[in-house]
Amino acid sequence: MIRFAQNTPQDTLQVRKIWAECFGDPPAWLEWYFREVYEPENTLFYEVDGHLASHLQMRFFDLSLCGRTVRAGYLAGVATYPQYRKQGFSRALIEKAFAHLRAGGAEFCFLVPTVFRFYERLGFATCYDKTLYQINHHELPLPADEPWQQAGTDSGLVLDAAYRYALRGDNGYVLRSEKDWRIFLQDNIDNGGAECRFLQNGKDCGYFLARRNAEENKLFVIEYGYTSLDICTKVLRQIAQAAQSVQKLELLVPPGDSMYINFCDCRTARSVQPYAMARVLSAEYALSLCAKDFCGSVRIAVADPLIAENNGVFTVENNAVSRGGTADIQLDIQTLAMLVWGYIDWNAACDMRLIRGDIRKAEGLFQIQKNYLDNAVLAF
């Protein structure tokens, strides 16, 4: 039986137990999470004979996608006790979650998976990568000599302008609320032992958030932001200052970020890894995000095995989307997500035979993008 969690000590204890067993987070973090983050009204249970077998949690976020603010749901804590696995319980919960998120106004769903293949079968597609730079001490620029302030968990509103400016050319990132900032900073500073330094000069601001690893003698930069290129240079020099006492610096940045050109030797080791997945909950709305700059006319047949409303033919014409007609091209819901996010370009999708039909009619509808999903969601 599937039900929502109730705001009772008994249900909260059940969620804590399955989370602790399946994810192994320390008690102190769990205490903070269930005090500050947990929302029983957005938590689903799958019970067998009155016992919790599987569960997941949801949060609503606003994303900046295709130049617009869109509502999206985030799935977290998808967990099943070992004795109940491979019986379809997680799949059933996720299908129920789709309905709940759509009822709450979400047009998309996203998550950070541990097993990508499982979620692909549910219509999710990889839409975000993460780039990691590994920089040796001798490659760093001259350190900064300016006084910087230590940010606290209440500094989110000061840092937000720098966060948004740094990501102004990116796509798919979370538009953090004051609560999102507080939780993000609490999770990293109070619980994760990170330090956040910022510089404020009038309206300009820059910051970085980093965590030290004494065993590996390295500094790991989780995030940085700035409101001008001059401030960006100061941020990079301050990172160099913070890294003076370690042998190695690791920098996690959005794909396509070119800051390393000004920061270190261009031959610095760099790795790109798949990071997060997205799922279209409303095909019509997803297509409307791309229709505003499309001058042609095309009828697209979408196939979705889980959400019946997404199946059918959609006509994209005159900057609008309507239903009906005979399809010019056909694609599935995963391909639509990758195209709307701009994770793959149109020609690549055609070469991979992800699209069938008269492909020329949809040329110019989808644009390649630089996607970025920050670490804030990992607290949820």
What's the token pair of residue 197? 């330094």
What's the token pair of residue 166? 């740094």
Q: Do residues 44 and 2 lie in contact, with contact meaning Cβ atoms separated by under 8 Å?
A: yes
HSE (CB half, 13 Å, CA atoms) of 198? 27
Q: Do residues 246 and 218 lie in contact, with contact meaning Cβ atoms separated by under 8 Å?
A: yes
With tokens 């709307």, the residue in question is: 340
Angle of the 333-340 helix axis to the 283-291 helix axis, nearest 10: 30
With tokens 């270190």, the residue in question is: 264
Task: Check residue 255 and give its pLDDT.
Answer: 65
CA pair distance 46, 55, nearest whole angstrom = 6
Adjacent-strand bridge partners of 64: 69, 173
CA pair distance 375, 184, nearest whole angstrom = 8
Q: Do residues 299 and 315 lie in contact, with contact meaning Cβ atoms separated by under 8 Å?
A: yes
- 204 CB-contact burial (10 Å; exposed 0-12 / middle 13-18 / buried 19+): middle
Task: Check residue 139 and give its pLDDT.
Answer: 73
Task: Check residue 263 and give its pLDDT.
Answer: 66
Which domains can be identified in the chain, with CATH numbers?
Answer: 2-106 (3.40.630.30), 141-263 (3.40.630.30), 279-362 (3.30.1050.10)
CA pair distance 108, 44, nearest whole angstrom = 18
H helices of 74-155, where? 89-103, 116-120
Q: Count other Cβ atoms within 10 Å, centred on residue 272.
A: 11
Q: Three-state SS string across 204-271, please?
A: EEEEEEEEEECCCCEEEEEEEEECCHHHHHHHHHHHHHHCCCCCEEEEEECCCCCCHHHHCCCCCEEE
List all residues 6 or more positions away from 296 whose beta carbon is below 8 Å from its beta carbon: 316, 317, 361, 362, 363, 364, 365
Query: Sheet holding 329-332: strands in order across?
Result: 320-323, 312-317, 297-303, 329-332, 356-357
pLDDT in tens, the chain (380 residues): 999 999 999 999 999 999 999 999 999 999 999 999 999 999 999 999 999 999 999 999 999 999 999 999 999 999 999 999 999 999 999 999 999 999 999 999 999 999 999 999 999 999 999 888 888 777 776 666 677 899 999 999 899 999 999 898 889 999 999 999 999 999 988 888 898 999 888 888 999 999 998 888 899 999 999 998 888 888 888 888 888 888 888 888 766 666 656 666 666 777 888 999 999 999 999 999 999 889 899 999 999 999 999 999 999 998 899 999 999 999 999 999 999 999 999 999 999 999 999 999 999 999 888 888 876 666 55
pTM, rounded to two decimals: 0.93
Task: Check residue 91 and give its pLDDT.
Answer: 97
Encode burial over 252-269: b for 16+ CB neighbours within 10 A, e otherwise.
bbbbebebbeebbeeeee
CA pair distance 270, 254, nearest whole angstrom = 12
